[in-house]
Structure 1
């Protein structure tokens, strides 16, 4: 039934019922109208309006659900769909909207994948240039300062040695930036070693206590999956250092049924704002890249828990 005939039918039911009551009810209207008759007429009108409103709300309920979904849908949380009624214009509208969401989610996932892959390629290029150009140049400067300090008189030697320390600290910072841009240990030694290195460096720079719980029998993962797991852990630890005001953070990586679960739990102030920043939305885009589920919620005791569940590829027969 179309929306027009649905509304027309509902109103026809209400008006027909009211007409039948007027025809068969032993009620007459005097001229002029007496108070009792006026009360009965007004009461009947109120009942008719209430019944009409209730029936219209029932008839337009699918449109209300569609409007609510339109205002709350988020392409970074795929799978939000409305059940399709039996038929009619409303069913066709909901079916079209669900199909539009399918196309938008597919296009968003495709464009996000291209953007993230381009971003990783650019990070790799910058890290390579920092390592090859800036790192080697600073190493040459450090060696030249050492030779000059060995041959300089005592007053100048102290200044040259101080310049050596500044240059050495700057070189360490460049190397740290290179590791953040492109974790070479991830390519060379795998995910467990990369996460161990990441958490150790995090504990050294922040002074927080880091507890690691890594399963030893993890299944083999695709390189893209390992990179997403590493980036989510990296962004989560960065958020802990910036916003959580925590003292302890636990990083776990374990095997579940057909998936690998990464969890980062801190004991800080917890997540409060409903509005998500660029960092969290970036993690959601990375999760969509590999078909993983990302859940960010308050921890059971205190703080925040970030959990990423990445599917494991099936073995080919």
Structure 2
């Protein structure tokens, strides 16, 4: 009985690791945080029970709380965008603690002296409250709130999970705020190109920093934990009597499942921050990118490239890599292609990158729009990175005849 319980616990940890990895992938997939919240909440509910979930952001100057996202049980007077005082609130308690906090009131009298803004929530049927701080760059920018109708539902392990999940999404929220600030700047400062470029560069740098952090956590924490789980299953299997065939097979299958999860975690870690780019340069990183893309999307992918050593700065190599990564992701997700080719060669004082697929294509100038504005956020990000590189980009496509992306990047350090 104890052995079965141990195996059940190990499987639960493996499942938790996989869900946390998926949360990491979701929150780093876009700068539009509105696209993240619903998918984020669905994955979180697999780990932490709740009847209501909310993300509250703190305005330190105005001493207020604003809720950009909430889901679940409807509370009178509570809706997305609502603003409440920070003082003497449960959010303030979490902010000052800088750690997870649980509150289990037994009656309405519990709100007479503190957290009186939560009384309508209690009256709506909520009996368990848990909050975790959203910390970005060592500053509490908000809280992640969980509510349940069941009394005393949140335990010590729920607090730890909530803190870890809050830590994951805090960076994405901070980056999204930068993204919103960028859009406001675009409207208010159309004549100030220099300031827009600075903000764009800062935003992309912040995103790269967040990718590095999540990648490191996936590799160091989840990767090592899953490897340990695999060894534990192997140890259990070896100690089982030979006649317990079914259980031995179950252990063997569990090891295979964990190995698949480990491989997925490694792939996600590489996608977020490929160490090969820093260690061996753009040429090696592009080869690995194409190999991983072909394996993930089951497409035929060919790569033709010239030597790329020392032709541009490491910072620009990262941006070139992200452009090609985004271009291939668009092909894999949207093009319905069977094959894609990537060509990289020097042309004059520039590097020319060509990504061409045989997919369904699209009409880049439909309704009078140019190619960069009519194909979505992915290409908008590509265009912005290209502008920061001082390069040029051209998208050629026709419905039913595939798509061709041409990127020209100035060579800086030719030797």
TM-score w.r.t. length of structure 1: 0.64
Mapping of 1:262-301 within 5 angstroms? 262-272=353-363, 274=366, 275-298=374-397
Give the Cα separation in 1 of the matches to 2:195 and 2:379: 20
Q: Are residues 241 and 113 of structure 1, via their aligned partners in 2, closer, same or farther at CA, if it must alter by over 3 Å?
A: same
Which of residues 204, 223, 232 is equivalent to 1:116?
204
The yes-or-no answer on 1:232 pairing with 2:323 is yes
Q: Are residues 296 and 165 of structure 1, via their aligned partners in 2, closer, same or farther at CA, if it must alter by over 3 Å?
A: same
Mapping of 1:191-270 within 5 angstroms? 191-216=282-307, 220-270=311-361
Per-residue deviation, 1:210: 1.1
Given that residues 331 and 357 in structure 2 are in contact (C-alpha distance below 8 angstroms), is that contact kept between their aligned partners in structure 1? Answer: yes
Q: Are residues 253 and 278 of structure 1, via their aligned partners in 2, closer, same or farther at CA, if it must alter by over 3 Å?
A: same
Per-residue deviation, 1:121: 0.5
Q: Are residues 298 and 235 of structure 1, via their aligned partners in 2, closer, same or farther at CA, if it must alter by over 3 Å?
A: same
Q: Please give the secondary structure, in 2, of the residue aligned with 1:196.
A: helix
Q: Please give the secondary structure, in 2, of the residue aligned with 1:213.
A: strand
Give the Cα separation in 1 of the matches to 2:196 and 2:405: 23
Give the Cα separation in 1 of the matches to 2:336 and 2:224: 37
Larger Rg: 1
Over aligned residue pairs, what C-alpha RMSD do you find? Answer: 2.4
Give the Cα separation in 1 of the matches to 2:273 and 2:393: 23
Given that residues 312 and 413 in structure 2 are in contact (C-alpha distance below 8 angstroms), is that contact kept between their aligned partners in structure 1? Answer: no
Give the Cα separation in 1 of the matches to 2:204 and 2:290: 23
Q: Which runs of 5+ in 2 are unaligned?
A: 1-181, 184-188, 367-373
Aligned length: 218
Per-residue deviation, 1:205: 2.0
Query: Where in structure 1 do 4 or more consecutive aligned residues deviate above 6 Å?
Result: none
Give the Cα separation in 2 of the matches to 1:264 and 1:293: 14
Given that residues 253 and 260 in structure 1 are in contact (C-alpha distance below 8 angstroms), is that contact kept between their aligned partners in structure 2? Answer: yes
Given that residues 230 and 258 in structure 2 are in contact (C-alpha distance below 8 angstroms), is that contact kept between their aligned partners in structure 1? Answer: yes
Given that residues 235 and 279 in structure 1 are in contact (C-alpha distance below 8 angstroms), is that contact kept between their aligned partners in structure 2? Answer: yes
Q: Residue 268 of structure 2 corresponds to which residue in structure 1? A: 177
Per-residue deviation, 1:294: 1.7
Given that residues 306 and 345 in structure 2 are in contact (C-alpha distance below 8 angstroms), is that contact kept between their aligned partners in structure 1? Answer: yes
Given that residues 282 and 321 in structure 2 are in contact (C-alpha distance below 8 angstroms), is that contact kept between their aligned partners in structure 1? Answer: yes
Q: Are residues 264 and 315 of structure 1, via their aligned partners in 2, closer, same or farther at CA, if it must alter by over 3 Å?
A: closer
The structure that is helix-richer by fraction is 1
Give the Cα separation in 1 of the matches to 2:331 and 2:311: 29
Q: Residue 157 of structure 1 corresponds to which residue in structure 2? A: 248
Given that residues 218 and 260 in structure 1 are in contact (C-alpha distance below 8 angstroms), is that contact kept between their aligned partners in structure 2? Answer: no
| 1:108-156 per-position Cα deviation (integer Å, ceiling 9, x unaligned) | 2111100000000010011111111111111111111111111123221
The yes-or-no answer on 1:125 pairing with 2:224 is no
Give the Cα separation in 2 of the matches to 1:234 and 1:133: 25
The structure that is strand-richer by fraction is 2
Given that residues 313 and 413 in structure 2 are in contact (C-alpha distance below 8 angstroms), is that contact kept between their aligned partners in structure 1? Answer: no
Given that residues 351 and 408 in structure 2 are in contact (C-alpha distance below 8 angstroms), is that contact kept between their aligned partners in structure 1? Answer: yes
Q: Please give the secondary structure, in 1, of the residue aligned with 2:311.
A: coil
Per-residue deviation, 1:218: 5.7
Q: Please give the secondary structure, in 1, of the residue aligned with 2:228.
A: helix
Q: Please give the secondary structure, in 2, of the residue aligned with 1:220.
A: coil
